Amino acid sequence: MPDVTVSFTDAQWTRIVAASSYILRPDEGTVDATKLSAKWKAQVTDHVKSYEESLLSTDEF
C-alpha cells in the first residue's frame, strides 16, 4: 500500500494546532500527526464509499 507524506512548515503547523478546536471535536484535544492522519483517512474513506454507492444507485420511478 502506498504511503502518503504531507509536510508543513513550523509556521503552518502552529496555525494547524491553533485551529485544533475547529479541526477536531472539542473532546479530542489538540491536533497531532496521528489524529490528523486518522481524520484524513476517515474523510477519504467516506468519499470513496459515497462514490462507490453513487455507481450502484439507480433512479427509482
| 1-11 per-position pLDDT tens digit | 889 899 999 99
CA distance 60 to 38: 36
Q: Domain spans of the chain?
A: 29-54
Please determine, for residue 61, whether its predicted confidence score (pLDDT) is greater than 90.
no
Please determine, for residue 58, whether its predicted confidence score (pLDDT) is greater than 90.
no
Return the C-alpha cell found at 33: 500527526
Which percentage of the chain shows pLDDT scores above 70? 92
Average pLDDT over the chain, rounded to an integer: 92
Average pLDDT over residues 35-48: 96
First to last CA, the chain: 41
Please determine, for residue 36, whether its predicted confidence score (pLDDT) is greater than 70.
yes
Please determine, for residue 30, whether its predicted confidence score (pLDDT) is greater than 90.
yes
